[in-house]
Structure 1
Amino acid sequence: MAGTSLANAALSMFGGRPHGQHMNKSTNNQSSFQMPLHYPRYQKKDYENMPEWKLDRLLSEYGLPVSGDVDQKRKFAMGAFLWPSQEG
Structure 2
Amino acid sequence: MMSGTSCSNINPHTLSGLKPNGHQVSGSGNDKGCYFQMPLHYPRYRKTDYETMPEWKLDCLLTQYGLPVTGDLTQKRKFAMGAFLWPSQNE
TM-score (norm 1): 0.71
Question: What is the CA RMSD across the aligned residues, in angstroms?
Answer: 2.4
Q: Provide the residue aligned with 1:82 in structure 2.
A: 85
Count of aligned positions:
73
1:59 pairs with 2:62: yes
Q: Provide the residue aligned with 2:4 in structure 1.
A: none
Higher RCO (CA 8 Å, separation ≥ 6 residues)? 2
Unaligned runs of 5+ in 1: 1-13
Q: Deviations over 1:32-86 (max 9, x none)?
A: 3110101100000000000000000000001000000000000000000000110
Partners in 1 of 2:24 and 2:52 — Cα distance? 35
Q: By percentage of residues, which structure has more helix?
A: 1
Q: By percentage of residues, which structure has more strand?
A: 1
Unaligned runs of 5+ in 2: 1-15
Partners in 2 of 1:51 and 1:22 — Cα distance? 35
TM-score (norm 2): 0.69
